[in-house]
Chains A and B, each alone.
Chain A
Amino acid sequence: MTVVQQEITDYVARVRAALADLPATQRDELTEDLADHLSEVAAEAEGTLVERLGEPETYAAELRAAAGAAPGSGGRNLDQRVATAMVRLRRRLNAIDTQFGPPLGYATASDFLRLLRPGWWVLRGYLAAMLVTVMSTGDSFGLLPRFGGELLAGLIMLVGFVLASIWLGRRSAQLTRWPRSAVQVASAVLVIFALVGLVNAEGQHANDYYYDQTSTDSQYVRVRDVFVYDSEGRLVENARLFDQDGNPIRLGYPDCGPVSEDGNPLLRPYPYCVDRAPFGPRGPAGSDPAATLPSTPTAEPTSTPTAEPTSTPTAEPTSTPTPSGTATDRPSGEPTATPAGTPSPTPTS
């Protein structure tokens, strides 16, 4: 019996080999029962299978004709169309394979890709670890895997997964149909996961950039002009602001005064609009602010950012409440212009 079994197995193998050009599904469909059928045949009659049925190649040709020649129902026709399309696709892929091999320095592109397989196995292990990381840790992780947020556990998992992936990769040729399909599906899932991760990382980068920009601006987004006061409470004109690196700090936007005088209006010194100073010699009790303030606003870029030494003859020399605080905390106070804050009558300047 075992001799017959062996004979049947060999016969089926040769028939399958002769049908190798068919799509795998169609070939499996045709030959999945062949061994059973042949054992029926072997039980019915004397002689070897080859004597009874002819050479396996001949048998395969007849089988192919019987299975494909006479069209059955519509479903069969669809199958045939799909099978034909598969054959055509495979042929096309083969052509591409041989076409792109020489530029890479190999006979076929698949020769080259086959060399990359161990690299893919390692990457697959890493991706599996990252997938577990995503599922166990949530979204607070970097490029290293973590298990439940634990880096060490994640690294141990990484090593384990990489070794397992390599082991699987080396054994994939010996796997039977279903385990091999399972590995392929799992690999496909990991590839999709990796692509999603890549897209996310790229999107996060763009988001960071956007976020930075808005966060620096948001604090001063309502600022339209900057008014600098010295310790005496006098408005400093033609002021320029710099950060620790010497870069000019640009805030607000000049919406008054001479526009388009020298190119970029943002290069004008502060304040842009002198007559809008929140504190200063203006208001009902004061005189006309235009009289107290220099008429030539700011047009000179060479003027140093100091207060103009012009002594201002204001109306009220006796106003007592001089701004004792520093200039910085003064503007943060009441935003209404109080006439009491005139610091003008100082003789020195």
Chain B
Amino acid sequence: MDTTQLLKGVLDMAVLAVLREEDGYGYDILRRLREAGLEEVGDASVYGTLRRLFAAGLLTTYVVPSESGPHRKYYSLNAAGRDQLTRSGKLWRSFATTMDSLLDDRGMAA
């Protein structure tokens, strides 16, 4: 199992978490995810996740004109997005705890 497969399940949460602190545009979000340690995350995955979260009504967008480069579409969390992040954060914590204890019991933890 590599990180890519794990990412599939939590990329939504990761994107929402990155946006909790500060709004961002697509490439910016990708960079922040990678800086946070999710090196394997792909551009298409982030873009597709953003589109899906936006379609699900968890994100709002606004366009910021840029003089030097292209216009940038910024994504920001709305109330539904924050609720979703809180819920999935709790779920992740309990899931991670379960996995930790499972691995500890078997003596497989690092």
Interface residues of A (CB under 8 A from B): 29-30, 33-34, 36-37, 39-44, 52-53, 58-67, 69-70, 72-73, 75-76, 79
Contacts and interface: CB of A to CB of B under 8 A. Distances in A.
Nearest to A4: B70
A43 B70 contact: yes
Contacts of B55: 29, 72, 75-76, 79
A5 to B, nearest CB: 10
A66 B47 contact: yes
B19 interface: no
Contacts of B37: none
B43 A67 contact: no
A82 to B, nearest CB: 13
A41 B70 CA distance: 10
Interface residues of B, number: 29
Interface string B44-58: 111111011101111
A73 B56 contact: yes
Q: Say what secondary structure dominates the interface of chain A.
A: helix
Contact of A70 (B12, B47, B51): B12
Which of B8, B51, B57 neighbours the largest number of chain A CB atoms within 10 Å of its CB?
B51
A34 B47 contact: yes
Contacts of A66: 11, 44-49, 52
Nearest to B84: A73
Contacts of B73: 33, 36-37, 40
Nearest to A74: B56
A197 to B, nearest CB: 42
A77 to B, nearest CB: 10
B43 A73 contact: no
A37 B69 contact: no
Contacts of A62: 42, 44-45, 48
15 contacts: A30-B48, A34-B47, A36-B71, A37-B73, A43-B69, A62-B44, A63-B44, A63-B47, A66-B52, A67-B48, A67-B49, A70-B11, A70-B12, A72-B53, A75-B55
Given A29-B51, A53-B43, 5 more contacts: A40-B26, A44-B31, A63-B48, A69-B8, A73-B57
Contacts of A53: 43-44
Nearest to A30: B51
A37 B56 contact: no
Nearest to A79: B55
By CB atoms of chain A within 10 A, which of B9, B44, B49 has the most?
A: B44
A242 B26 CA distance: 95
B12 A75 contact: no
A87 B12 CA distance: 26
Contacts of B71: 36
Contact of A76 (B42, B44, B56): B56
Contacts of B51: 29-30, 33, 67
B79 to A, nearest CB: 14
Which among A39, A63, A76 has the greatest number of chain B C-beta atoms within 10 A? A63
A212 B43 CA distance: 77
